[in-house]
Amino acid sequence: MPTVGFIYPDHAAEDDYPFAERLLGYRFSLPVEHIYGTDLHAVPELLDLGSEKRLAEGATLLAKHEPDAVVWACTSGSFVYRWDGAHEQVAKLAAAAGKPASSTSFAFVRAAQKLGLERVAVAASYPDDVAKLFVEFLGNGGIEIVAMSSEGIDTAAEVGRLSPEAVVELAVGHDHPYADAVLIPDTAMRTLGVINTIEERLGKPVLTANQVTIWEGLRLVGELPESDELGALFRCH
């Protein structure tokens, strides 16, 4: 069975991954291992969270699952390194794991490219200074941001406690008429169960952190299954 291992920071919405296994008919193994730091959405703490030492620890924890690829399942802990630094981060993770590797930030760029998105709206849970770094990262990936909102939520734990209804309203409330899609960049937010609801409300695709992270991992192992449960990204192959 194809196996993608995910390094997930602390605890918040990691149950999206076994949920995805079920939605994909248990054709893939998507094990999650945790590394621990702070869950604060602040630049110094995020740089520490995504450090080479911590990700190497995550790769070691994943080794028992014998993954075919590994993904750093943290958007802010990757884009905070900015474009070149995030490439270096992934290269060091691949070396530590001995497997192909990626991160959620690159997953967003590649998923947007797959859907042919040119202009997007960003509905971020982060404080404004952190959200702006995500916008910068997307811009380096050739994506135009026509609107950005930042909810100013300081910790991942708080994000993980958002209700499904609140997640839907976050996405719908921060759309923009010129946006081809809405992007929701926090892996601490449970989104897999509401993606189709959001897309129906918006009338356009939505890309969420855990969705694109799983898609990116499956892309790395050469497996891109179709699913009616996980939004336009999983219906486009």
d(CA 100, CA 145): 29
67 lies in which domain range? 4-106+210-226
Together in a domain, 99 and 216:
yes
Closest of 77, 86, 76 to residue 124, by C-alpha: 76
Structural domain count, the chain: 2
Together in a domain, 221 and 198:
no
Q: Which residue has the tokens 């356009």?
A: 204
Together in a domain, 166 and 129:
yes
Q: pTM of the prediction?
A: 0.95
Residues 44/67, Cβ–Cβ less than 8 Å: no
| Tens-digit pLDDT profile for residues 223-237 | 888 999 999 999 976
**Strand, helix or coil for residue 6:** strand
d(CA 212, CA 110): 9
Together in a domain, 48 and 58:
yes
| Tens-digit pLDDT profile for residues 83-141 | 999 999 999 999 999 999 999 999 999 999 999 999 999 998 888 899 999 999 999 99
Together in a domain, 128 and 183:
yes
Together in a domain, 216 and 202:
no
In a domain, residue 236? The reply is no
